[in-house]
Chains A and B, each alone.
Chain A
């Protein structure tokens, strides 16, 4: 079974440009999450999709970030315009089902996209 995949693996852009990151979750996983790790800090939650709906976007830093998941399959995260502080590693994760505790909620992470804004 294929894991979570992310594209691109690396992106280097100039401040003010636009970048779009893509995540393909594990097939059949309804839950899709975006996280990011900026230099030297912990991995932080950005948002959570259940199928195509945004369940929780409390971690999105500002309105320069736009996430979509049309059709409930892959997701994109667009940063427009990019700023220097947006540099970091952006992770996507997916999970299969929702249970009130117990197994089944494990999130499987992709390899991440390393974004560098110059």
Chain B
């Protein structure tokens, strides 16, 4: 079945630093998604990407849909303590189920 690899598995950074995380897939998707999960909450959609090569920003977040449709990255600039959480990349075919990556755990040291 489809599998996503996400790196790094965890990150410890200083407040104010930039963060970059990547996701690769064994197969193509029509849509790439980036979610964040806070403790005790469900995943919250941060950015959705619909076209190969698309680069999208949402505040301090920037994400890109890879040209091959098999990869994506998420950058967070000038990290702040509330950025702490688990970040999941995910792929989707049309309205189909969402396939999640294993997640990147982000810790921000004030």
Are A and B associated in one complex? Answer: yes
Question: Residues of A with Cβ closer than 8 Å to B?
Answer: 4, 31, 33, 35, 41-45, 48, 56, 59, 91, 93, 95, 98-103, 105-112
By secondary structure, the A interface counts as loop
Question: Least Cβ distance of B85 to chain A in Å?
Answer: 14
Given contacts A105-B95, A107-B98, could you give 14 more A-B pairs where the C-beta distance is less than 8 Å? Answer: A31-B95, A33-B97, A33-B98, A35-B100, A42-B103, A43-B100, A56-B97, A59-B97, A99-B94, A102-B50, A103-B48, A105-B31, A111-B42, A112-B41
Q: Which residues 80-110 of B have a CB within 8 angstroms of A?
A: 88, 92, 94-103
Number of interface residues of B (CB under 8 A): 25
CB pair B96 A56 closer than 8 Å:
yes
Given known A4-B42, A91-B42, contact A105–B92 (CB-CB < 8 A):
yes
CB pair B92 A45 closer than 8 Å:
no
In the complex, B67 has a CB within 8 A of chain A:
no
Complex Cα distance, B33 from A109, in Å, reads: 13
One digit per residue, 1 when the CB lies within 8 angstroms of any chain A CB and 0 when it does not, for chain B 54-85 equals: 00000000000000000000000000000000
Given known A44-B100, A56-B97, contact A111–B31 (CB-CB < 8 A):
no
Given known A101-B31, A101-B50, A103-B50, contact A91–B94 (CB-CB < 8 A):
no
Residues in B neighbouring A109, C-beta threshold 8 A: 35, 42-44
